[in-house]
A and B are shown apart, each in its own frame.
Chain A
Amino acid sequence: MQLKLLKMMIRIRSLEERIASEYSSQAMRCPTHLSIGQEAAAAGVGLALSKTDVAVSSHRGHGHYIGKGGDLKRMMAEIYGKATGCSMGRGGSMHLIDREVGFEGTTAIVGNSIPVGVGLALALQAQKRKNISVVFLGDGAIEEGAFYESANFAAVRNLPVLFVCENNLYSVYSPLSVRQPRNRKIYQMVQAMGVKSIITDGNNVEDVYMSVSKAKAEILKNKKPMFIEMPTYRWREHCGPNFDNHIGYRDEKEFLKWQKKDPIKIFTNKLLSNKKVSQLQLDKIYLAVEKEIDEAFNFAKNSPFPKLNLSSSTIFAK
């Protein structure tokens, strides 16, 4: 599992770095929110789940889609606005879906997918399935009414849902200090709402994997929802491919502090020093990942654009 976790983080990081490096070519014409620096949560959660567990996420959802096993080619084609994209080019970077692996969608309005994920849990409960629904959200979404309403509903109906909150300290450019009271911990507040809550290091992929595995078992056993806060940090700008430490809403010092906690670097060094992975194996992983990414980008670039279709069949199912 350790190698799988490492490889998954590398896939997410490498794909997003490729997006960043090619973004300026103006061929990916949609707002794109990169999660570079936050890969541990996406990889650890995704690999702790089975294909039949379901998940929804937010605007910053590339990692969650990939972590859950989403198809890279269809993801890139979607970002390139192509007919072969996972949403036929209608959704772009912020609307990724891969039903085959239980990834039911990312949506762009903050907090929007939270109740949808809770509804998926309602269906799992009604069908008596041994699966959970995972809702990925950020610290900004905690401030939305939809979160309180949804967490309350999940608690009162005892739904098999796991809320995963990546706290990356910023909502766009607004720091936590202007958005939530000092000294109030997100996970403690949610605990007080009647949803069992824990906090785990969002940059430690093994911690994430272990806590989510345990949480899943506990949710299914106790038939109650859970919440995990994962402190982490977004390295690049809110939306777009660049670093933005110079524009003045956060300082370089803070960024460097978090960069030292790079989830991939830390985990790679650990595995190297424990001899769980050799440099040769590592090189092979990076090579395989680069090849997979090349293929995804080529598929996307070579795919046709969708045609504008204004018939009602595009908005209504028959």
Chain B
Amino acid sequence: MKKKRIIPFSKAINEALHSSMSKDKNVILYGLGVDDPMEIFGTTKGLAKKYGNDRVFDVPTSENAITGVGIGAAIGGLIPVMTHQRLDFFLLAMDQLVNAAAKWYFMFGEQRPIPITIRLIIGRGWGQGPTHSQNLQSWFAHIPGLKVVMPSTPEDAKGLLLASIADKNPVVFLEHRWLHNLKGHVEKKAVSIPLGKASILRKGKDITLVTMSYATIEAIHAADYLKEYFDITCEIVDLRTVSPVDYKTVFRSISKTKKVLVLDTGMKNCSISSEIISRITEKFWGKIDHKPEQLALPDFPEGTSPALTKNYHVSAEDIIKRVLDMNDIKSKHKISLERQFPHDVPGDWFTGPF
């Protein structure tokens, strides 16, 4: 068997950027720090050197204007990729995102597509606190005219970023910071993955777990545990794109398993998971074995202290417990997954500060 090529998520992003920039000279990349020594957690490594300051450049701290600049540049024939090291800062650009980028194609009679990709990184734990950790995917998903992408695996990160940059429309590309060092198989060549298509990460027959971004990782741990200790097989439907949602794949899986648990990295109120639950309820009312359930963050900001994040996020243990409840299984032993590192980091590799 051919040896698999294993690289981290951040390198997969980097490869997609290199590939897109070499394929199309109109692609430009900018954002605060894209060419600084930290290289956006390694994701922009080597790009400034290779493509020069005309195509890869640092910018003033002006989130709103640089979004509008991207829109104008896109109208003028360029293909901008913009990067923000935390999603939370991008909230200053809502006018340009909602009133301009998302509307332009519709509002001017389908004359001017806006091919812009907006990379936003979502923080978590290690003191990221109330304003460096927000999962606001449902905000973006609420706006017609935006596509919202949330990859979970390195392979998807590369394939979906290639597709996002090639897409003629505004794409909000959300990278969870806890995924940047996740390693996985990625083809060396550029393999684009279509937007709006979910993937089945694990096949199963007992319950469907609908997941996104980092929640997928916890779901995988939970699924492995449930298989090993309870012989419950979970079908993991990784959404990959949270707007538009691939309901066809979600519904097909639920038709088979008759049970569904939807996971979200964001807060529950008005969330992607709540929306999916709503549509499942409309379609499967009375036809499945258990009411659809969800696990999301409480409707409460993330605190900064490590003591405040301990039971705040959805863990694999939470997923296991919920799946057991949904299957009427009372477990005698304490469910605990081994972790070699503190609860508020994704692994040993993360030692702060952001």
Residues of A at the B interface (CB closer than 8 Å) are 54, 56, 85-91, 95, 97, 99, 104-105, 107-109, 111-124, 126-127, 133, 145-146, 149-150, 152-153, 156-157, 312-318
Contacts and interface: CB of A to CB of B under 8 A. Distances in A.
Given A114-B68, A119-B69, A153-B65, 11 more contacts: A87-B109, A108-B99, A115-B64, A115-B68, A116-B69, A120-B76, A122-B78, A153-B62, A314-B110, A316-B169, A317-B113
Interface in B30-75: 54-55, 57, 59-60, 62, 64-75
B65 A118 contact: yes
B68 A119 contact: yes
17 contacts: A91-B109, A99-B111, A105-B108, A105-B112, A107-B99, A114-B68, A115-B68, A116-B69, A117-B72, A118-B69, A122-B76, A126-B78, A146-B65, A149-B60, A152-B60, A152-B65, A315-B106
Top-4 shortest CB links A-B: A119-B72, A123-B76, A115-B68, A149-B65
Nearest to B68: A115
Nearest to A115: B68
B107 interface: yes
B342 interface: no
B74 to A, nearest CB: 7
A112 B75 contact: no
B77 A127 contact: yes
Contacts of B322: none
Given A54-B76, A124-B76, A153-B60, A116 B108 contact: no
Interface of B: 28, 54-55, 57, 59-60, 62, 64-78, 95-96, 99-100, 104-113, 144-145, 147, 168-169, 244
Contact of B105 (A86, A117, A124, A315): A315
Contacts of A86: 108-109
Contacts of A115: 64-69, 71-72, 96
B73 A123 contact: yes
Contact of B109 (A90, A120, A133): A90
Which of A99, A108, A314, A315 has the largest count of B CB atoms less than 10 A from its CB? A315
Contact of A314 (B57, B67, B77, B106): B106
Contacts of B104: 105
A66 B96 CA distance: 26
B277 to A, nearest CB: 23
Nearest to B116: A119
B108 A146 contact: no
Contact of B70 (A112, A119, A312): A119
Given A105-B108, A145-B64, A146-B68, A112 B76 contact: no
A60 B144 CA distance: 26
A2 B327 CA distance: 84
Contacts of A313: 110
A122 B69 contact: yes
Which of A91, A112, A114, A316 has the largest count of B CB atoms less than 10 A from its CB? A316
B100 A88 contact: no
Nearest to A99: B111
A173 B68 CA distance: 28
A149 B112 CA distance: 24
A145 B61 CA distance: 12
Nearest to A94: B107
Contacts of B62: 149-150, 152-153
Nearest to B76: A123
A312 B144 CA distance: 9
